[in-house]
Amino acid sequence: MATNLIDSLNARHGLDGALSFHEKAPGIAVAHVRAGGAEAEISLYGAQLLSLKVGGAPDLLYLSSRSLFAPGKAIRGGVPVCWPWFGPRSDRPDLPVHGFVRTAQWDFESAQTLPEGMRISLATSSTPETKALWPHDFRLRLEITIGRRARLDLVMSNPGAEAYSATCAFHPYFRVGDVSGVSVLGMEGTVFADRLPGGGEATQGGAVRIDSLTDRLYACPGVKRILDPRLGREIVTAQEGFPSTVVWNPWEEKARAMPDMGEGEYRSMICVEPARVGGDACLLEPGQSLRLGFGFWSE
């Protein structure tokens, strides 16, 4: 990456002590934000929040010690954005899982100082390359609000002449002390689809506990509480416009087969992901926009 990109980001948007830009790896520019009692790192590649620390507490997010930071590869950890499809695309299994914006270079649009922290806006839009994968005109803006409560707003719009349909999710990797001791509250009594091969539907009894490979889609839009006795904290999540929630942990064997996951680190993470999939896909007519929101914080 030309250092003059970093220099021009710092010259245009840098704010002494509050916002600065660095090159994390070749081709990967990150913004460091200090605002509202929090400290964050945001990758412009993928528009991915990588780290959020509040006070002296451990990071709210997990980032793999072996994550790749290379154009064309997804970053393992933080909060990836899955769009315009979630998971593998059934009609085109050859295309990247979770869409292509998590591996796109996003533009830094603006930084706004707010009473509660700072809002960073990043944007990306259709190009001939994206149209080869998904033949639609689109524009996406991600607003990331950094403060004691983090908030992500994904605003998608359709500047084209034809309607499009997109599925999507935020894919947060929350850092936990030991996933086997974690309970996730908020999904009791809701129906879930087991996304593992051969999985069917079932109803969640009590709290969600993880003791094996877990990949489930819950019909549950409400607030979730991730109780973590090892770190002595509770992470709360809230979602707007996402009717479902995916819970994922690769567990030991699958994690070992993932070259970008640090040894044993599956125990330090849990993904609780606001999702809009299947029959809930976002349908945008020409000229329409849609905003989806996600917040999380520690209590």
Instruction: Name the residues that contact ligand BG6, by CB under 6 A.
Output: 74, 87, 97-98, 171, 195, 215, 246, 248, 271, 273
192, two tokens = 């879930």
For residue 203, the minimal CB distance to ligand BG6 (Å) is: 19
Whichever of 9 and 235 has its CB closer to ligand BG6, that residue is 235
- Catalytic choice (41, 273, 285, 299): 273
For residue 273, the minimal CB distance to ligand BG6 (Å) is: 6
For residue 52, the minimal CB distance to ligand BG6 (Å) is: 19
- Catalytic choice (32, 171, 234, 265): 171
H or E stretch at 140: strand 139-146
Length of the chain: 299
What is the rounded end-to-end Cα distance, in angstroms, of the chain? 39
- Displacement of CA 201 from its chain's centroid (Å): 25
Whichever of 215 and 228 has its CB closer to ligand BG6, that residue is 215
Number of Cβ within 10 Å of residue 149's Cβ equals: 18
Query: How far, in Å, CA of 97 to CA of 80, rounded?
Result: 12
For residue 75, the minimal CB distance to ligand BG6 (Å) is: 9
Whichever of 74 and 144 has its CB closer to ligand BG6, that residue is 74
Question: Can 98 be counted among the known catalytic residues?
Answer: no
Place of tokens 């149209």: 131
- Residue 243 identity (one-letter amino acid): P
Query: How far, in Å, CA of 51 to CA of 162, rounded?
Result: 37
Question: Can 273 be counted among the known catalytic residues?
Answer: yes
| CA nearest to 290, candidates 112, 38, 150, 83 | 83
Whichever of 146 and 169 has its CB closer to ligand BG6, that residue is 169
For residue 106, the minimal CB distance to ligand BG6 (Å) is: 18
> What values do phi and psi take at 73, rounded to 5?
-110, 145
Please list the active-site residues: 171, 273
